[in-house]
Amino acid sequence: MPHKVLMPIGDATEVMDTLYPFFRLPEDGFEVVVAGPEARLYHGVMHEIPPNDSIPWDITREQPAYHIRATVAFRDVKPEEYVGLFLSGGRAPEYIRYDPHLMAITKHFFDAGKPVCSVCHGVEIAAAAGCMPGRTMTTVAKCALDITSFGGKYVNAPVHIDGNLVSGRTWHDNTPMLREFVRMLKAYVVD
């Protein structure tokens, strides 16, 4: 049986934040289990700043993208069965952070010292669960307040490691971020 990594999502999960680890982690023998407010199909979105200067955007544009199925509802997750947690970005964290089951799940991973990886808006889940005090991490710059307002320190770096926490700014940092998360997961399951 492969070791399981939990990935909470909801509607408007960012597909590059979500699908890259979904397919990457099994390459090293980890099963990714996608959880949501309910076990169902969720709408993914693509976030980008259009590269054409004739279309001015000062924040990411959102458009529909692939769908992603959650196979378990937050209320049915048994966090002790998982070796790691991946907090994906997009707009989903803005509303799933209000789910008390997800908050308890998130605290479990931080309190138990299990590997946690957070990218982009995923920080909103960790912040809402009260896991920021004394932590240093990176995220997309527009979410820096989700770290500093909750007792943590923000750094602008492609990847940052703080104990059991690996963080990245956006999906552009997927490769180095997942490299560190996989290294951390492998060390955890050997210990």
Question: Which positions are catalytic?
Answer: 121
Cα–Cα distances in angstroms (integers) from residue 154 to residues 27, 129, 140, in the given order: 31, 17, 10
CA neighbours closer than 13 Å in the CB half-sphere of residue 94: 8
What does the block give as tokens for 106?
A: 């998130």
Which residue type does 122 have?
G
Of residues 41, 44, 45, 89, the one with CA closest to residue 69: 41
Which residue type does 57 have?
W
Which residue type does 186 have?
K
Q: How many CB atoms lie within 10 A of CB 31?
A: 14
